Amino acid sequence: MVDLTLINEKVCEALKEDSNEITYKAWLFFTENAQLVEENIIILVPNQFVKNSIDERYFLQIEDLFRMELEFNKLIIKVQAEEEFKTVKDSSGNNSFGGQFTNRLDEFIELINTHVKNIYDFVEAASKNGNSYVSYTLINECICGEEIYWKVKEFMLSRGFKVDLCRLDNSCILNLSW
């Protein structure tokens, strides 16, 4: 029987050794909860932006590290929301989200992804300049703007950042430190 927990720990240790703390917390820690499903290694990530970034920058490194520890068909990076939405069915077994809701949800997710990408760009630039904090302004863009701010804050907190959210009239300031 394969002890994937132990393998995940080994892979994560190697990733930590090969990268800085910010890179690990932002992109690579998702490997901690990798799963073996039907002879494939599955790593779930929170959004398409993170998936694309891992695919472009770290996929081969992660795949090589797992292959050193066990045999598998392929490494798959999946957006966790895709998995969660697949399980929501109405009584007839169909997806219960209507077109209007789905379009609105896609818009909501895209706004979150845009902010997260911008924040990571700011964090990376600040880190390269020797800073350990950054402030990011979130402008109220839509009716669900405040919910977006809280989702972005929760996401950054889950990545190990210290986060303070200050509300202003038509925007919020997100102060991040690490």
Task: Tell me, rounded to whole angstroms, the distance of Cα 35 from its chain centroid.
Answer: 16
Report if residue 94 sits inside a domain: no
CATH assignment at residue 15 = 3.30.300.180
Query: pLDDT band for position 99 (50/70/90)?
Result: very low
Of 62, 86, 110, which residue sits at a domain end? 86
Six-digit token string for 77: 């990076």
Residue 174: name the closest of 139, 142, 143, 141 by CA. 139
Does residue 91 form part of some domain? Answer: no
Kindly list the distances between the CA atom of residue 103 and the CA atoms of 35, 108, 110, 147, 165, in Å, as whole numbers in the listed order: 30, 9, 11, 17, 28
Write the pLDDT tens digit of every residue in 45-65. Answer: 887 888 888 999 999 999 999
Q: Six-digit token pair at 159? A: 């990545």
Kindly tell me if the per-residue pLDDT of 112 is higher than 80. no
The predicted-structure confidence for 70-88, as pLDDT tens digits, reads as follows: 999 999 999 875 554 443 3
Specify the number of domains making up the chain.
2
Could you tell me if residue 92 is inside a domain? no
How high is the pLDDT of residue 105? 64
Domain residues for the domain of 45 are 4-86
Same domain, 55 and 76: yes
pTM of this structure: 0.54
